[in-house]
Structure 1
Amino acid sequence: MAPHPGQLKPGIQAVHIRGLVRRFGTKTILDGVELDIAEGEFVALLGKSGSGKSTFLRALAGLDREVEGTGILGVPENLSVVFQDARLLPWRSVIQNVTLGLPGTPAQDRGKRALAEVGLKGREDAWPNQLSGGEQQRVALARSLVREPALLLADEPFGALDALTRLKMHDLLRELCARHRPAVLLVTHDVDEAISLADRVLVLEEGRFIEDLRIDFPTRRDHGDARFAQYRARLLSRLGVDVPGRKVPKVLEASQ
């Protein structure tokens, strides 16, 4: 059994992993995974269903103590996790959910500021069942960011939202990450979501990363941009999705 991830020494890396293995019986889900994430870097993780994306995230979060590793597994102690469902306590108010586990009056002030950041100023005393799905996820984001985490782990946090709300949440997450500068690992099934948000996109297959693609836009990210389409084609190809008439763009061949 691997020890709980320890705090890293100050430096440019927020995550440093070598030789991470996770088995369920005789089935190997993570097979010697290696990964570095820099401070403030946003990384998205794609993969087919059952590829081990959520297993990997749970290992980083310290929620799975059965991982093995012959090298280093280092993550910040100060981390937060956002799940697909908001996981709010229904018997606590919005502000109480945000500040759960934070002591004293200063926590209330921090919680109010966090709620204002996610557009929920004035809803501090509301109950979770009075909020829409998108509003509940905003509370979950506020709860995570109020602790000023060095690492934010997000497991398909927008998967249950409608398309329009998802786009709004993308803008919000992008803005909050630019302001707070945590390192981020986002697990998603949505290729466009990964390209829209991340600095790098990883593809996990058969327990290993088969793609580590740097996302580089000279200007604002636009789904209609030719480079966006090139990244999409590249990643869909790595996910085994056949896009008729599409080849791996030459501009991306160097990343192979």
Structure 2
Amino acid sequence: MAPHTQQLTRPAVRLRGLTRSFEGRTVLDGLDLDLPAGQFTALLGHSGSGKSTLLRAIAGIDHGVAGSGTLTAPERVSVVFQDSRLLPWRRVLPNVLLGLDGKDAEERGRAALAEVGLAGRERAWPSELSGGEAQRGALARSLVREPELLLADEPFGALDALTRIKMHGLLRQLWERHRPSVLLVTHDVDEAIVLADRVLVLSRGRIAVDLAVERERGSHGEYRAELLHALGVTDAGAAAPGPPLRP
């Protein structure tokens, strides 16, 4: 058995009976979910379906929300948000190294920036970066910590279409190189299919669809039609062929 196949046999995240409520409204309702170590998973759902709530619960940052259930997750978890959240008063390299120490910290930070295509931008201010560059910086800040689990909450939602395509390729390459478990929250069905090996649809507080994306066998159009149907989209163009499965 290949090492990566062995890795997928053990869960990085295990949720049992996870419930989260806001002001008496149940958002997650007894949700069960396993995320295997090393798997790239995308999470789809309508606005307000609880996607970000689930991500924050896994990250341990949903303080103040009424909830119950059991959660097992790795110690090393990084989160990437829709905006880069780079501190404007720190240059790029200090932003990447925020909270990181050790003799080799700067070397690791420079290597992470080079890996995301920002070599030579270490002393730039965040205000000098484009939107895509800022998100590359956010990815570098996450990866320099060598996370076992990377949680991404619509990290490309604010980018233009061409920049999004470039970032898709970069994220997939970084995942293939480092193999953390990834949970990507997105509204974009095509983004989910292109990037992930497994796509979940969250509805009424539970996982309504659990779809394996087989890149060598499946059709983008078929996956797209199935996911759009699960999301309640039934227009005639739903099954139209999409872009290749590889970004």
Normalising by structure 2, we get a TM-score of: 0.90
Aligned residue in 2 for 1:3: none
Aligned residue in 1 for 2:5: none
CA distance in 2, matches of 1:41, 1:67: 29
Q: 1:190 to 1:177 in 2, by over 3 A?
A: same
Contact map agreement 1:237 1:243 (CA 8 A) in 2 = no
CA distance in 2, matches of 1:246, 1:127: 43
Q: Any gaps of 5 or more consecutive residues in structure 2?
A: 1-8, 240-247
* 2:127 is the alignment partner of 1:129: yes
Aligned residue in 2 for 1:108: 106
Q: Judge which range, 103-112 or 157-166, deviates more.
A: 103-112
- Count of equivalent residues: 230
Q: Specify the code of the residue in structure 2 equivalent to 1:235.
A: L
CA distance in 2, matches of 1:246, 1:55: 28
Q: 1:246 to 1:130 in 2, by over 3 A?
A: closer
Q: Any gaps of 5 or more consecutive residues in structure 1?
A: 1-10, 220-225, 248-256
Contact map agreement 2:147 2:180 (CA 8 A) in 1 = yes
Aligned residue in 1 for 2:244: none
* 2:232 is the alignment partner of 1:240: yes
Contact map agreement 1:20 1:67 (CA 8 A) in 2 = no
* 1:16-48 Cα shifts (integer Å, max 9, x gaps): 000000011221000011110111100000000
* 2:20 is the alignment partner of 1:54: no
Aligned residue in 1 for 2:67: 68
Normalising by structure 1, we get a TM-score of: 0.87
141, 144, 149: which is aligned to 1:143? Answer: 141
Q: 1:233 to 1:113 in 2, by over 3 A?
A: same
* 2:178 is the alignment partner of 1:186: no
Contact map agreement 2:11 2:35 (CA 8 A) in 1 = yes
Q: Which runs of 4+ in 1 moved over 4 A?
A: none
* 1:93-113 Cα shifts (integer Å, max 9, x gaps): 100000101113311000000
Contact map agreement 2:152 2:183 (CA 8 A) in 1 = yes
7, 11, 14: which is aligned to 2:12? Answer: 14
1:132 Cα offset (Å): 0.3
CA distance in 2, matches of 1:168, 1:13: 30
Identity %: 64
